[in-house]
């Protein structure tokens, strides 16, 4: 199937470009990691030795070629701060981030679709108004503020759930709710518009004039068609969630790629920063690729058009 091959090649090119972009941006990171590692009373000599050890004294192209060659072997370099391979540090944190993003996307999709359909079906009345207000709040509030409100309510006042840490399922609930709800705002809006569009279609009028029950029309005719364009939004949603994990993991003091990234930026641990951003970007590209491909499966019109 040429469409799949084309998409795969494009995705591979983007990943190559992304790696280059991240590498180039971080090459110009101000400050010298070697001086940080050497400590305050280090001599010029020992700083130079550390620099040679890290390989940061070599010219840009040499470092770049080295990094890309390593990448092909699945080697992301050695962490400046802990001397461990970057891949080891990333794999240690990745499961926690995956759990957070997966559950959060589940919350976002369920809340987004339910409320979006509810608003569209009640177009114009108070239910629609209420849902739209909620939507405006979710798209406009910073995730960390919602998180703080959740912590205040459920951890400080009610003392039902732990506020920080990771590992147990209870510790996952608040971060997931925070990340998922903030991301659901945009989805809600998209679902509402999409359902409204389909409600105006001729086949809905036909179904209605045939005397079909409203509920049957909604589930059989409207939702099937309305949810197709929403699938594309799932790709964008993943981008929001991956961005959000950085903030949410910091707020809830959870393990994860985002927290690792923030800590690495603090100590200028360039290989770890590179690895973390690259991992998130590749996941993002892959999910978008999957969304594109599944789109062609769900909606036959896409295949014939391309």
Residues near other proteins, by CB under 8 A: 10, 13-15, 17-18, 21-22, 25-26, 28-30, 136-137, 139-145, 148-149, 151-152, 156, 163, 189-190, 193, 239-240, 242-244, 246-247, 250-251, 261-262, 265-266, 273, 276-277, 280-281, 284-285
Count of residues for the chain?
306
| Residue from 228, 262, 249, 227 nearest 143 by CA | 249
Count of helices and strands (H, E) across the chain:
14, 0
| Gap between the Cα atoms of 23 and 90, Å rounded | 17
Q: Output the smallest distance, CB 213 to other proteins, in A.
A: 29
| Gap between the Cα atoms of 126 and 128, Å rounded | 5
| Residue from 74, 30, 75 nearest 56 by CA | 30
Round the CA-based radius of gyration of the chain to a whole number and report it: 24
- Among residues 4 and 152, whose Cβ is nearest to other proteins? 152
Q: Are 303 and 3 in contact (CB under 8 A)?
A: yes
Q: Output the smallest distance, CB 140 to other proteins, in A.
A: 4
Q: Output the smallest distance, CB 282 to other proteins, in A.
A: 8
- Among residues 42 and 267, whose Cβ is nearest to other proteins? 267
- Among residues 189 and 217, whose Cβ is nearest to other proteins? 189
| Residue from 219, 188, 187 nearest 204 by CA | 219
- CA distances (Å), origin 99, targets 108, 110, 144, 175, 187: 14, 17, 19, 11, 20
- Among residues 20 and 206, whose Cβ is nearest to other proteins? 20
Angle of CA points 256, 259, 263, to nearest 5°: 135
Q: Output the smallest distance, CB 150 to other proteins, in A.
A: 11
- Among residues 212 and 282, whose Cβ is nearest to other proteins? 282
| Residue from 259, 104, 109 nearest 172 by CA | 104
- Among residues 207 and 223, whose Cβ is nearest to other proteins? 223
Q: Output the smallest distance, CB 203 to other proteins, in A.
A: 21
- Among residues 59 and 266, whose Cβ is nearest to other proteins? 266
Q: Output the smallest distance, CB 133 to other proteins, in A.
A: 10
Q: Output the smallest distance, CB 277 to other proteins, in A.
A: 5
| Residue from 297, 264, 303, 296 nearest 280 by CA | 264
- Among residues 109 and 277, whose Cβ is nearest to other proteins? 277
Q: Are 244 and 183 in contact (CB under 8 A)?
A: yes
- CA distances (Å), origin 151, targets 23, 103, 154, 161, 254: 37, 18, 5, 8, 14
Start-to-end CA distance of the chain, whole Å, equals 12
Q: Output the smallest distance, CB 43 to other proteins, in A.
A: 27
């Amino acid at each position: 199937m040429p469409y799949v091959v084309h998409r795969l090649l494009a995705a591979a090119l983007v990943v190559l470009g992304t790696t280059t972009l991240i590498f180039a941006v971080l090459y110009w990171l101000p400050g010298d990691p070697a001086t940080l590692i050497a400590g305050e009373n280090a001599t010029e000599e020992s700083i130079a030795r550390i620099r040679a050890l890290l390989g940061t004294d070599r010219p840009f192209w040499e470092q770049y070629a080295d990094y890309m060659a390593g990448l092909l072997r699945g080697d992301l370099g050695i962490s400046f701060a802990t001397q461990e391979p970057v891949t080891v540090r990333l794999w240690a944190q990745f499961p926690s981030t995956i759990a957070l993003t997966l559950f959060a996307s589940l919350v976002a999709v369920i809340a987004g679709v339910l409320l979006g359909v509810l608003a569209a079906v009640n177009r114009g009345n108070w239910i629609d108004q209420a849902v739209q207000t909620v939507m405006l709040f979710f798209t406009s509030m910073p995730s960390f503020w919602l998180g703080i409100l959740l912590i205040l309510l459920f951890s400080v006042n009610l003392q039902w759930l732990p506020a920080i840490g990771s590992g147990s399922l209870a510790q996952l609930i608040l971060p997931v709710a925070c990340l998922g709800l903030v991301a659901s705002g945009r989805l809600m809006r998209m679902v509402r518009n999409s359902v409204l569009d389909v409600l105006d279609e001729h086949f809905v009028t036909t179904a209605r004039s045939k005397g079909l029950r409203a509920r049957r029309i909604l589930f059989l005719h409207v939702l099937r068609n309305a949810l197709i364009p929403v699938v594309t939004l799932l790709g964008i949603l993943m981008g929001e969630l991956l961005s959000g994990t950085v903030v949410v993991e910091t707020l809830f003091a959870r393990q994860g790629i985002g927290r690792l990234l923030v800590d690495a930026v603090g100590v200028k641990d360039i290989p770890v920063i590179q690895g973390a951003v690259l991992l998130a970007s590749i996941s993002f590209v892959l999910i978008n690729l999957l969304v594109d491909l599944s789109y062609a499966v769900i909606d036959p019109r896409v295949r014939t058009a391309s």
